[in-house]
Amino acid sequence: MLQKTWISVLLLILCCCPTPGYSAAVAEKVFADYADALLQIKVLEHASGAKSAIGSGFLLAEPQLVVTNYHVVSEAVLFPQKYQLEFLAQNQQKGKLEIVAVDVVNDLALLKTDYRPAKSFQLQQQVPAQGAEVYSLGNPHDLGLIVVPGTYNGLQKHSFYPRIHFTGAINSGMSGGPAVNAAGEVIGVNVASGGNGLGFLVPAAALQQLLNKHPVTDLKQDIQQQLISNQQQMFQQILQADWQLKSFGPATVPDEIVPFIRCWGTSNVEKDKDDVKRVNAFCNQPEEIFLSSEFSTGRIEMQFEWIQAKDLHPLQFFRRYQQSINQMNADNSAGEDDVTAFSCQNQLVTPVQGQHAKAVFCLRAYRNYPQLFDVAYISASLDHQQQGVISHFTLAGVDQKMALQFSRKFIGAVVWQS
Amino acid sequence: MAVIVEVLNKQQKVTERHKFAQQQVRLGRAFDNDVILFNKHVCPYHATLQQDQQGQWWLEDLSSVNGSFVSDRKAVTAKEPLRSGEICWLGEQALRLYDDAHPVAATLPFSAVGQKLQALGHWAFILLFALILAADQVAEIWLTLPKQLEHLWTVRLLDLPKTLLMFCIWPAILALWSRFNQQESHFLPQLSLTYAALASSALWGVFCYWLGFNLDGSAIAQVVEVMGYTLILVALFCGNLWLATHWSARAQVAVAMAVAFLATSGQWAGLLTPASPFDRSLHYDSRLLPLPFYLGKGKDLQQYEQDLQQLFEQVEQQRQESVQD
């Protein structure tokens, strides 16, 4: 009896605390098994023959394609005349790669190659258990291929895009490498580092969807379709949601209207010296879609400011009030070849009977992705002599219908409670 | 028949005028000459002017160190004839000879405009314009200075005399220029004119602020604003030139317009050239005034949305044009 108890206690200890030695051994085995299927992906410029980007990739067994991140190979997708792709395997084999399909929303790319290693990767079919051991493989900083052990922590909360939360240090050059379970099955693709041993993986399910879709004939048109349908999904969720309004000074403004939009606030109330009191609230969907090193899209941002004065002449107050609306900027970066210049429309509007606001609506179009726009909007209420509410939003990569519907709902939600 | 000898400066403006009844006039630096010259390159006994039997005047060089010259810089070897109104040089000193029958230019009548411009030089006008300028600056400080920085009022107010003094430089330059041209300097009228232009710019700025807010920052309001500033400058420069020169009215207006457009060229370029694709910033009119200052009614949401639809179409058109390029 005693002996049985001892054995079960021993087993329990063994099961609960897998020692570092155990984990390192598994890592070594996984690495040894699949080393030849792990590739370093290089983007080379035709003219100079020099590396312009570097990342990791891996070969799948079925279909026999190389998987990497879109952001690793984006230059070769956008400027095929200028860049070409090459791989370097652990066994020093080299070869050319050709792009078959990309998914910019999930930052994935599929590439074709003739290279056939002894053993290629398989996708894991089930979702891993919380806390399961995961090994992220890749090629950080051009130092050679390495293994980083870590833990599966489920899908990232408050994110519109499905991303696996991985506790382990993913570095920039590991982008595009696989994250595998102890059996060597791929559970996701390394995509981003959150810093401090926090990493994110694109789940294998998203990769499976792209595999079902390939090959694609016109990559750029396909990217446009992905952007259009992604923003439609995102904005449909936002527009269909029952917007939570919070009272904000004398008005109501939208709060965390969908789970993937988070809000914060600040104020200068404690500073008694200021002649105007400012209260700020800020909400955003911070995740960007990478299109090129200069061009990102997909963010949503909303900002509110309540400004209130005591003992100021209305003209004095409005001059200070004006300073709060004179520096609006786009929330996403874009190069001059990516977008048109902003055009702005300036108008005094009456959103509700008896309420007046000055509204500025600015718009720029995506040159290469028709029907998509960046929008920046700011408005200042004008009905009071000593206080006002400024409401502002920017949308990146929306179509006209979604932008107008969002604007209508937003303007309707910012109302004075007099 | 008497002869008039004019001593000219480098700009060929008259500095001295002598009239002689005799038939020989001695020129040089020595004190026993008829015309005593200053220029160090002129010899003590440099040349003489002599009238012959026919009444013709001759310039005779007295073997001077630096020579004498007549029209077209022709060197005088022995002597050269001089016509009435002709310029000659002793070294680099220019002289002009007239006989007393030489016709003079018609009398310049007083002009109504010129007199009004001069009347502007009255101290009451200068004070009035300076007060308008001061009021504009005080209003700006009152509008923008935060309560917690109220102790800065005096410092900011000290800028006022500085600004007023700074804008004395332009009329001072004009006055000097007039003096150079041997005309009345007209410093006070020029100063008054400059302050008047500044004061009207300030008032125009206030009006355009209101106009821009009322027209919802439309392009028309911006064009009107820049046009106003340009007109004020044209008027200022016309007045300046009228006081400082005797050019023809057409030349004055042409020069004034050229300078005014040059001075406002930056603003015009900003209005007339399309937005650069390299420009990532947003350009919009952020001017805010309390609601009673807005004369219109404002648009309801439905009308606003129609405007926005038009904006989308317009931007889409821009995109298509840029893709075709």
Pick the residue of A305, A349, A384 with the most B CBs within 10 A to test the interface with B by mutation. Answer: A349
In tens digits, chain B (325 residues) has pLDDT values of 789 999 998 888 888 999 999 999 999 999 999 999 999 999 999 999 999 988 899 999 999 999 999 987 788 888 889 889 999 999 999 999 998 889 988 888 888 888 898 999 999 999 999 999 999 999 999 998 888 888 889 998 998 999 999 999 999 999 999 988 878 899 999 999 999 999 999 999 999 999 999 999 888 999 999 999 999 999 999 999 999 988 888 999 999 999 999 999 999 998 888 777 677 788 888 899 999 999 988 899 999 999 999 999 999 998 998 887 6
CA distances from B2 to A30, B54, B201 (A): 122, 14, 56
Using DSSP bridges, classify how beta strands B35-36 and A178-180 pair: parallel, antiparallel or unpaired: unpaired
pLDDT at A379 over 70: yes
Q: What distances in angstroms separate CA B321 from CA B193, B277, B315, one per listed residue?
A: 48, 13, 10
| Calpha distance B110→B127 (Å, rounded) | 26
Alpha helices in A96-203 (DSSP H): none
Helices (H), chain B: 112-119, 123-144, 153-166, 169-180, 187-214, 219-244, 249-263, 265-272, 301-324
Single residue among B99, B120, B135 that ends a domain in this structure: B99
Its sign, for the CA torsion A227, A229, A232, A234, is negative
Q: Does B291 contact A at CB distance below 8 Å?
A: yes
Distance CA B280, CA A374 (A): 12
- The reply to whether A346 touches chain B by the CB within 8 Å rule is yes
Q: Are residues B87 and B198 in the same domain?
A: no
Tell whether B118 and B185 lie within a shared domain: yes
**Domain range for B146:** 112-272
Closest C-alpha among A52, A260, A250, A297 to residue A156 = A260
Give the pLDDT confidence score for residue A125 in this predicted structure.
Answer: 84
Instruction: Read off the pLDDT band of A111 (50, 70, 90).
Output: very high
Rg of chain B taking only CA atoms, in angstroms: 32
Distance from CA of A229 to the nearest CA of B (A): 19
User: Between chains, do A343 and B316 touch, taking CB under 8 Å as contact?
Assistant: no
Assign A13 a pLDDT band (cuts: 50, 70, 90).
very low
Q: What pLDDT, in 10s, does the model give residues A306-362?
A: 999 888 899 999 998 998 898 888 888 888 889 988 999 999 999 888 899 999 999
Tens of pLDDT, residue by residue over A235-250, are: 999 999 999 888 898 8
pLDDT for the residue numbered A366:
94
DSSP, residue by residue, A78-116: H-TTTEEEEEEETTS-EEEEEEEEEETTTTEEEEE----
User: What pLDDT, in 10s, does the model give residues B76-86?
Assistant: 888 889 889 99
User: B55 touching A, CB under 8 A?
Assistant: no
Asked if B153 is an interface residue toward chain A (Cβ–Cβ < 8 A), one would say no
Return d(Cα B28, Cα B62) in angstroms, integer.
10
B278 touches chain A (CB under 8 A): yes
Mean pLDDT across chain A, nearest whole number?
86
- Tell me the one-letter amino acid at A236: Q
- Assess contact for A90 and A36: CB atoms under 8 A: yes
Shared domain for B37 and B147, answered yes or no, is: no
Q: Which residue of B has its CA nearest to A369?
A: B319
> How many Cα atoms within 13 Å fall on the side-chain side of residue A328?
32
Does residue B312 form part of some domain?
no
> Based on the domain organization, do B23 and B73 belong to the same domain?
yes
Chain B residues touching residue A320 (CB < 8 angstroms): 146
Q: Domain check: are B238 and B134 in the same one?
A: yes
Note whether residue B36 is domain-resident: yes
Which CATH architecture does the domain made up of A20-216 adopt?
Answer: Beta Barrel (2.40)
pLDDT score, position A2 = 47
Beginning with the edge strand found earlier in the chain, give each strand of the sheet holding B57-61 in spatial order.
B35-36, B24-28, B47-51, B57-61, B79-82
Q: What angle do CA A293, A299, A303 make, to 5 degrees?
A: 130
> Shortest CA distance to A341 belongs to which of B317, B176, B319?
B319
User: Nearest CA of chain B to the CA of A318: how many Å?
Assistant: 6
Do both B225 and B247 map to the same domain?
A: yes
Q: How far is CA A374 from CA A119, B9, B69, B215, in A?
A: 46, 69, 77, 25
SS3 assignment, position A297: strand
Query: Cβ–Cβ of B285/A315 closer than 8 Å?
Result: no
pLDDT (tens digit per residue) in B183-226: 889 999 999 999 999 999 999 999 999 999 999 988 899 999 99
Domain presence at residue B300: no
B288 touches chain A (CB under 8 A): yes
Report the residue from B279, B298, B318 with minimal CB separation from A350.
B298
CATH number of the domain residue B17 falls in: 2.60.200.20
Residue B238 and residue B252 in contact, taking contact as beta carbons nearer than 8 Å: yes
* Structure-model confidence comparison of residues A156 and B161, the more confident one: B161
How far B307 CA sits from the closest chain A CA (Å)? 8
- Partner-chain residue, chosen from B288, B307, B316, that has the shortest CB–CB distance to A318: B288
Q: What is the pLDDT of residue B43?
A: 94
Look up residue A46 and give its two tokens. 């035709």
Chain B residues with beta carbon closer than 8 angstroms to that of A330:
280, 282
Check CB contact under 8 Å for A346 and B300: no
Could you give the 3-state DSSP secondary structure of residue B271? helix
Whole-number pLDDT of residue A21: 57
Stated pTM of the model = 0.83
pLDDT for the residue B308 = 95
Task: Identify the domain boundary among B40, B68, B99.
Answer: B99
**How does pLDDT run across A41-75, given as a tens digit for each residue?**
889 988 887 888 888 899 998 888 999 999 999 99
Residue A136, strand partner residues: A148, A179
Pairing verdict, β A343-350 and B299-300: parallel
Pairing mode, if any, of strands B3-8 and B14-20?
antiparallel
Number of domains in chain B: 2
> A10-24 in b/e burial notation, b at 16+ Cβ within 10 A?
eeeeeeeeeeeeeee
Q: Tell whether B280 is within 8 A of chain A (Cβ).
A: yes
Is A156 in a helix, a strand, or coil? coil
User: Half-sphere exposure of residue B53, counting CA atoms within 13 Å on the CB side?
Assistant: 0
B contact test, residue of A268, A305, A340, A356 with most B CBs within 10 A: A340
The tens digit of pLDDT for each residue in B18-44 reads 999 999 999 999 999 999 999 999 999
Count of CA atoms in the C-beta half-sphere (13 A) of A315: 9
How is chain A split into domains, by residue range? 20-216, 225-416
ipTM above 0.95, yes or no: no
Grouping H, G, I as helix, E, B as strand and the rest as coil, residue B184 is coil
Rounded distance between C-alpha atoms, residue A245 and residue A252, angstroms: 6
Comparing A223-227, A247-251, A270-274, B78-82, the range with the smallest average pLDDT is A270-274
Q: How many CB pairs under 8 A join A and B?
A: 139
Comparing alpha-carbon positions, the chain B residue that sits nearest to A361 is B308
Q: Tell me which chain A residues have a C-beta less than 8 angstroms from the C-beta of B297.
A: 350
**Is B177 in the same domain as B207?**
yes
Provide, as residue numbers in chain A, all residues whose Cβ is less than 8 Å from the Cβ of B278.
336
Query: Which residues of chain B neighbour A220 with C-beta distances below 8 Å?
Result: none
Please indicate if any CB of chain B lies within 8 Å of the CB of A356: yes
**A363, B290: Cβ pair inside 8 Å?**
no
Residues in chain A: 418
Report if residue B320 sits inside a domain: no
Closest CA to A411 of A256, A282, A302: A302
